[in-house]
Amino acid sequence: MEKLIITCAISGAEVTKEDNKFVPYTPKEMAIETYLACQAGASIIHLHVREDDGTPTQDVKRFEEVIKQIRKLCPNTIIQPSTGGAVGMSNDERLQPIQLNPEMCTLDCGSVNFGSNEVFVNTEDDIKYFAKKIYEKSILPELECFGKMHVDQVLRLYKKGLIKDHLHFSFVLGMPGGMNASERDFVFLKESIPKSATYSVAGIGRHEFPLAELAIKDGGHVRVGLEDNIYLEKGVKAEGNQDLVKKVALIAKKYGREVATPDEARKILGIKV
């Protein structure tokens, strides 16, 4: 079984310090959280950025500043900026971080209700536009799917040549308005993608570690982090992203899976070293 890629989503756009005091806002905080997560075993950092007061932003200058600070501490880590941004942002606003030519970035593959009156909109034309801009810069997209219909959308666009190899899916499960985080639904999704594709699973909240274990046993990969879950276990808040990464690394050890380094992750994903 190939080595396990651990992605760490260190901050997201929604969770705040009021939820967990270790959620990073400033470039320095993000660099420290990245360093600690990487020391624990993360090889990819899924990156949203914030203003110093916690306000989410897609400003390219803020991404550049944060990445510069991260690179001082973690020169070889794969940095995966989010092009999801936050609900209500325009496409070009969301796409700003690809100007920095990262190795990877996210590509959201369909719309989803986020609860209440929030709808995260990604039309088919939006997805085509994002894909075109991403591939023009030879960036590997992580294909974020909140349900089976998003996987089907990817496969339709793949047949048309608009989404290209290598296909690396991220199943984000347990989100309000998205697909359930049950084992049944996990199996349904991972059996719906081509055998040549790779996948990572991100369980929201209490679903994080049960889904991580399923993916580890299956040979898939895992995303954890304070963006998705602020608890180490019921009633016990994580004291930083590294706690969540360490727990996944321990699960991997239980099943005899080694954790991939950044360069090993690049090889698995077909990113040129």
pLDDT band at 246 (very low <50, low <70, confident <90, very high): very high
The CATH superfamily assigned to 6-269 is Aldolase class I (3.20.20.70)
Cβ neighbors of 187 (< 8 A, separation 6 or more) are: none
| 27-51 pLDDT per residue, tens | 999 999 999 999 999 999 999 999 9
Ranges of each domain in the chain: 6-269
Query: Average pLDDT in the 180-188 region?
Result: 96
- Is pLDDT above 80 for 158? yes
Whether the upstream peptide bond of residue 166 has omega within 30° of 0, thus cis, is yes
Q: Hey, is 236 helix, strand or coil?
A: strand
172 in Cβ contact with 204 (< 8 Å): yes
Q: What pLDDT score does 177 carry?
A: 86
Closest by CA to 121, choosing from 154, 84, 156, 93, is 84
Residue 114 has pLDDT above 90, yes or no: no
pLDDT, mean of residues 216-222: 98
Asked whether 128 and 135 are in contact (CB, 8 A), the reply is no
Please report, for the chain, how many H helices and E strands are present, in that order: 9, 14
* pLDDT in the model for residue 208: 98
